[in-house]
Structures are given as C-alpha cells and as structure tokens.
Amino acid sequence: MYKILVPTDFSACATFAEDLALSIAKKVEGEVHFYHRAAIPHNWKDITENDKNRFPEIWDEVRSTELNLQRCMVKAKEKQVNSKRVYSHGKLIENVIDYVDTFDIDLIVKG
C-alpha cells in the first residue's frame, strides 16, 4: 500500500497539504499518516494522572492536538481513505525521518 505522511501543525498551509494528500491517497488507494510534533515533555505518557493534572497548559496542548488529529481522521474517513494519526515530542525533522523509516513512507506532503 502507498503510504503518505503529512506532518501538520494544523495551519492553513498544513490543512491544504492534508487535503492534497487525501486526494492523492484516494487516487492510488493509499493510506495517509497524520503526524504532529506537540510541545509536551518527553515522558508525558509515563507521568501519573495526578502529576499530569499539575500541568494544565500541557493538558490543553494534548487535547488540542488530539482534537485536530481527530478532525484529520474524519476528513480521511469522509473521503474513504485509510489513515493513521500520531503525535510526539522532540525534534520535528528527526521525528519525521524516524517515522518515514519505521513505516516505509513513500511520500511526504507538507504545507
């Protein structure tokens, strides 16, 4: 299956790239992977719920990221395109390179 990665910051340019990637994926019966680098600590997933509650600004970032990625998934479903979503912390370029290698991405479409 043809795999397309869309690194997104949810801006207008990124939204255009999301739509373009979905159009391409529809034509080639491919799959779109939406990726966002979020401003969260590297160990966020390992922190207890009580400790996470001490950082409402990070919770806001996580919720916003998840809502925006869900919006991407809904668009993909409406276009009948298989999709995945992921977000992480760290350095954007290194994360994208690792993702491309891990998931055998064929094309990157970014805004």
Could you tell me the pTM of the whole model? 0.89
**Domain CATH code at residue 26:** 3.40.50.620
pLDDT of residue 36: 93
pLDDT of residue 46: 78
Helix (H) or strand (E) holding 107: strand 107-108
Which range marks the domain in which residue 33 is found? 3-108
What does pLDDT average to in each consecutive run of 10 residues of the chain (111 residues)? 95 96 97 92 78 81 92 97 92 92 96 90
- Output the pLDDT for position 47: 76
pLDDT value for 9: 94
CA–CA gap between residue 47 and residue 17 (Å, rounded):
33
Q: What is the 3-state secondary structure (H, E, C) of 58-100?
A: HHHHHHHHHHHHHHHHHHHHHCCCEEEEEEECCCHHHHHHHHH
In the chain, how many domains are there?
A: 1
pLDDT at 53: 80
Residue 104 is predicted with a pLDDT of 96
- At 27 the pLDDT is 96
